Structure 1
Amino acid sequence: MVIESFAFETGGAELTGLEAGEGLPVIFLHAGVCDKRMWLDQMAAVAEAGWHAIAYDRRGYGETTSPDEAFNHLDDLDALLDAFDIHAAVLVGCSMGGGLAIDFALRHPGRVIGLVLIGTSVTGAPWSATEAEAMIEAAEEHAFERGDMDMLNRVQAHEWLDGPRAQSGRVAGAARELFMDMNALALAKPALTQEQRRPEAWSRVGEINAPSLLLVGDQDFTALIDRHEHLSEEMPNAFAAVLENVAHIPSIERPELVNSMLVEFLDAISGGGDAESDDDSED
């Protein structure tokens, strides 16, 4: 399966991405400690299953470049869909990418065919941490205040890749190397100080009627596991699953598991047949 690069401009930014396959579009939205490369395995699986896989680097991540100008990630996602002449898509988001998918679904319900939310953020959601989790958050804050980006990257790899209650280095090999590289790029980017705040979504998640797959790892933050349970109760068309021995970035930790669940979900919402390209007919 050939994965091709693309770029498009919005405002003063040039957003970069990857695409593969043909059919109904599946837009992948990366976590705040990653970039578009966290989805490479899923893109290949989705494209092979007959869908058009698209992943892009948001402002402040990966290969995307942006001046420090006023912007909103929702408007940038709109611009991506316009660039591809896409009317409606399935949105797959992890962490902050999931929060963006939720906000987009609330703003444009007719443009969302389905949602896959992994360890998702939700704009305006509450947060709490256990004592062990608070300790690693304190280490993260200390590294940030010292300006030690290498240490910050290592702490965040423990926090998000291994899991805040797990042994540091639990996830090794290519997955760890990829995480460290993606997050290092994000940490080295110039600060963007003019991002526009998005409306609170926590009290509105029950309005999302699109079929949704909710996933969370049992090694993730307890607040995210609790949030997962809340969303599974509030969102009327959601199927929820907790992944065992997985933390916040299952797409690179357990790609085969995520791939199988994702493709099964896409088959279900497309009626079990091959997805065929007809973007303008979906609403």
Structure 2
Amino acid sequence: MTLDFDATGDGPAVLLLHSTVCDRRMWDPQVTALAGAGHRVVRVDLVGHGGTPVPAGRFDEAAEIGALLDGLGVDRLAVVGASGGGRVALEFASRWPERVTALALLATALRGHPAGPELEAFDEREEALLEAGDVAGAVDLNVDLWLGPEADDATRERVRVMQRHAFDVQLAAEDVPYEPVRTEPDPGVIAAPTLLVTGAHDVPDFREIALHLAGLLPRARHLELDWAGHLPSLERPEEINALLRDFLAG
């Protein structure tokens, strides 16, 4: 199986890994900005999102991303990951640190992080809605939690469309014997400069994760955005575009 992807522009490569609330379309505002700044922008749909179905059998997503990059002739690159995409970015950078020149993590998840009360309550509510067949209700639950006060109606609708599509793909594959291959990341081996971005209006877990990683990653700095929720690249795209351009240029 091949991960669905697209590539835009020329120059030093940047890989964009989306939040698992969305798919690669969440990066639409960043693609033009980063390509215009002289980067080759590669973005993929993770398993069960966008154009990438849920595969049968064992599947190593991080290794497949590496193979995809090999096919594009990309050896070294910067990686930008949001939420669940940040979790994949950490695994990739930990397994192949020599390939990663810079790492930007926006409200990143972290494998093994124990969910706090708010996140645990959300997970239980989402599961109950899906078990009851109320997919629309589960979509609304996600939109309400993950977008901060800066998100306008158009942004909320974009996230609603992406989350609904992800649920449709994943629910249709409930009987597919998918066996993901996952490796615990070792942040200490990641030598690339790392930017950890969190939002003041996000669930507290993600700030806790960022602060934890800031103490483990050798070249990390943490930036808290007082206006942001969980998806700042959609909430204030121009501000995040400028932040990423400056970080990658440095």
Give yes or no for TM over 0.5.
Answer: yes
Which structure 2 residues correspond to residues 1-283 of structure 1 after superposition, within 5 A?
13-130=1-118, 133-162=119-148, 171-189=151-169, 190-191=172-173, 193-201=177-185, 204-268=186-250
Larger radius of gyration: 1
Cα distance, 1:221 vs. partner? 1.1
For the 8 Å contact 2:200–2:224, the answer to whether it is kept is yes
For the 8 Å contact 1:219–1:246, the answer to whether it is kept is yes
Cα distance, 1:217 vs. partner? 0.9
Give CA-to-partner distance per residue, 1:35-54, whole Å, 9 cap, x none.
11111111111111111011
For the 8 Å contact 1:103–1:123, the answer to whether it is kept is no
For the 8 Å contact 1:46–1:263, the answer to whether it is kept is yes
SS at match of 2:145: helix
CA distance in 1, matches of 2:151, 2:203: 16
- Matched length: 246
Give CA-to-partner distance per residue, 1:220-254, whole Å, 9 cap, x none.
11111111111122211112101112111111111
For the 8 Å contact 1:123–1:199, the answer to whether it is kept is no
Give CA-to-partner distance per residue, 1:90-115, whole Å, 9 cap, x none.
11000111111111111111111110
CA distance in 1, matches of 2:154, 2:67: 33
Give CA-to-partner distance per residue, 1:16-70, whole Å, 9 cap, x none.
2222210010000011111111111111111111110111112211122454232
SS at match of 1:257: helix
For the 8 Å contact 1:129–1:223, the answer to whether it is kept is no
SS at match of 2:105: strand
CA distance in 2, matches of 1:61, 1:68: 15
CA distance in 2, matches of 1:73, 1:243: 30
**2:138 alignment partner AA:** L
CA distance in 2, matches of 1:178, 1:232: 31
- State the partner residue of 1:273: none
**1:141 alignment partner AA:** E
* Residue identity (%): 34
SS at match of 1:183: helix
Q: Unmatched 5+ residue regions in structure 2?
A: none
Q: Unmatched 5+ residue regions in structure 1?
A: 1-12, 269-283
Change (3 A) 1:134 1:87: closer
Provide the alpha-carbon RMSD of the alignment: 1.8
Change (3 A) 1:65 1:142: closer
Give CA-to-partner distance per residue, 1:179-221, whole Å, 9 cap, x none.
01111110000335423241223xx323321111110111111
Change (3 A) 1:121 1:134: closer
SS at match of 2:184: coil
Give CA-to-partner distance per residue, 1:147-180, whole Å, 9 cap, x none.
2111110101112124xxx7xxx73322111101
For the 8 Å contact 2:14–2:41, the answer to whether it is kept is yes
CA distance in 1, matches of 2:124, 2:191: 38
TM-score for both structures, normalised by structure 2: 0.92
